[in-house]
Structures are given as structure tokens and as C-alpha cells.
């Protein structure tokens, strides 16, 4: 599903943001990526989305070598990767239904299909009754659920969640993590970048730890230890 081989990324002369990173993530895995600010986590996400190109090394996602994807084909490549951000990034002038439907309209889905898929997706994330609400009328947890619904509406095989609980209280954070776990159980590969080590410890998933641009540990399920 995802394979990095000797990937490095430098923005300018000096210490690279990523340095000789090699790792594989199989289809259907749930993986946490942890590390301090500036460790290279965000760079890694941007490389997987082909927002950045590596200085060295190769990246394979869904059978495609990212270095060989032409610029005009990048939007199509990204359709198979859903992304959820810490700050939700909802359209404030559109209601819940239209925020989720927007992702379908961008790829040219017919209106009839949109009218079927959006309610089903909102039901899955527990927001069927709030389809007419606007973002400002929702709690942080509800806004993140809308963002997740939007990320999943085009049925991506991979979901990248970049600090998805960063702006949420503890209860809402756990609700979002349970939802991501349910999504993973349906076959979607889920990759979560987080600072919330409590969640990481409790959920007992694979944990990749990045420090100063290098992978310093890659633990199996339940083996994570943050003593470093």
C-alpha cells in the first residue's frame, strides 16, 4: 500500500527534515506516527500527498511511484487519499450536507448519487440529524466528524489524520478515535499523526516514532513505550 525507500527531504542546506527513511504500511493497517514538533511528521504527510517531492529516495502509494506521476494527474491520485486536519477546514458558509457534498461535486459525481451517498455518510459518523446545521452551530467534535465524512465520501483506500484530536476535549477526542477505529475495521488504511500519547498507549496499534527526521522506532501492536 505505502512504501518509502531511503527517503530524504531537505528544504535548504543543513539538517534534512527527513533523513533516509524506509518503511512500509500494509493495506488495512492502523498506524500512529508520533514525534516532537519539527521531527518530520508533517513533511512525511506532505510527501505521501505529493505536496512535496523527496530530495532522495522513492515513495510508492497504491501501486504508484509518486516520482513518476505527472502534475496534471496529481488531483486524481489524491482522490484515493482522504485527509483530516486538526483545524477541521470546513466551509463556514455551507451547511453540513453541502460541506460533505462538495467533495463529491469536485470530482463530478452526479447529483442523484450525491443525494444517496451524503446522508449515508452522515449517518455513519452520527450526524444524520444535523445535515442542515452550519459549522458554527456544531461542537468541535461534531465539526471533526463532518471533516471525516467529507474525507471518506469518495471512498479513499487511505485516510490520513493530522492531529485529528488536537483541538478537542478528552471525551470528543476518544469519540473521534473510536470512529477512526471503526473506519479502519471496514478496510480503510488509517494513519494518524498525533501528540496525544495517552491515546496511542491505550489503543495499542502500530506506532512509528520519528525524531529529528529519522524513524527511531517502529513498534508492533501494544508494544509502544514512550520512555524516550
- Domain identity same for 4 and 105: no
Q: What is the 3-class SS of the chain, one letter each residue?
A: CEEEEEEEECCCCCCCCEEEEEEEECCCCEEEEECCCCCCHHHHHHHHCCCCCCCEEEEEECCEEHHHCCHHHHHHHHCCEEEEECCCCCCCCCCHHHHHHHHHHHCCCCHHHHHHHHHHHHHHCCCHHHCCCCHHHCCHHHHHHHHHHHHHCCCCCEEEEECCCCCCCHHHHHHHHHHHHHHHHCCCEEEEECCCHHHHHHHCCEEEEEECCEEEEEECCCCCCCCC
- Per-residue pLDDT, 150: 95
Q: What is the mean pLDDT of residues 163-168?
A: 91
- Domain identity same for 97 and 136: yes
- Per-residue pLDDT, 221: 58
**pLDDT band of 228, cuts 50, 70, 90:** very low
- Domain identity same for 70 and 1: yes
- Per-residue pLDDT, 38: 85
Residue numbers of the domain that contains 116: 88-155
- Per-residue pLDDT, 160: 96
- Per-residue pLDDT, 125: 95
The number of distinct structural domains making up the chain is: 2
Q: What is the mean pLDDT of residues 192-204?
A: 93
For the chain, percent of residues with pLDDT exceeding 90: 87
- Domain identity same for 147 and 181: no
- Asked if residue 139 has pLDDT above 50, the reply is yes
Amino acid at each position: 500500500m505505502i512504501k518509502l525507500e531511503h527517503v530524504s527531504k531537505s528544504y535548504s542546506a543543513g539538517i534534512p527534515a527527513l533523513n533516509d527513511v524506509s518503511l512500509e504500511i500494509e493495506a488495512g493497517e492502523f498506524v500512529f506516527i508520533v514525534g516532537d514538533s519539527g521531527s518530520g511528521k508533517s513533511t512525511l504527510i506532505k510527501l505521501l500527498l505529493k505536496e512535496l517531492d523527496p530530495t532522495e529516495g522513492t515513495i510508492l502509494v497504491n501501486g504508484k511511484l509518486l516520482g513518476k506521476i505527472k502534475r496534471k494527474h496529481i488531483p486524481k491520485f489524491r482522490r484515493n487519499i482522504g485527509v483530516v486536519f486538526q483545524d477541521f477546514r470546513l466551509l463556514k458558509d455551507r451547511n453540513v450536507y453541502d460541506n460533505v457534498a462538495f467533495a463529491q461535486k469536485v470530482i463530478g459525481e452526479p447529483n442523484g448519487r450525491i443525494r444517496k451517498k451524503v446522508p449515508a455518510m452522515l449517518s455513519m459518523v452520527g450526524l444524520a440529524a444535523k445535515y442542515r446545521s452550519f459549522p458554527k452551530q456544531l461542537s468541535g467534535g461534531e465539526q471533526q466528524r463532518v471533516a471525516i465524512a467529507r474525507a471518506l465520501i469518495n471512498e479513499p483506500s487511505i485516510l490520513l489524520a493530522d492531529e485529528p484530536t488536537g483541538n478537542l476535549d478528552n471525551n470528543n477526542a476518544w469519540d473521534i478515535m473510536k470512529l477512526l477505529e471503526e473506519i479502519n475495521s471496514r478496510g480503510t488504511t488509517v494513519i494518524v499523526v498525533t501528540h496525544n500519547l495517552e491515546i496511542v498507549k491505550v489503543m495499542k496499534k502500530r506506532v512509528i516514532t520519528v525524531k529529528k527526521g529519522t524513524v527511531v522506532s517502529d513498534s508492533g501492536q501494544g508494544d509502544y513505550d514512550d520512555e524516550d
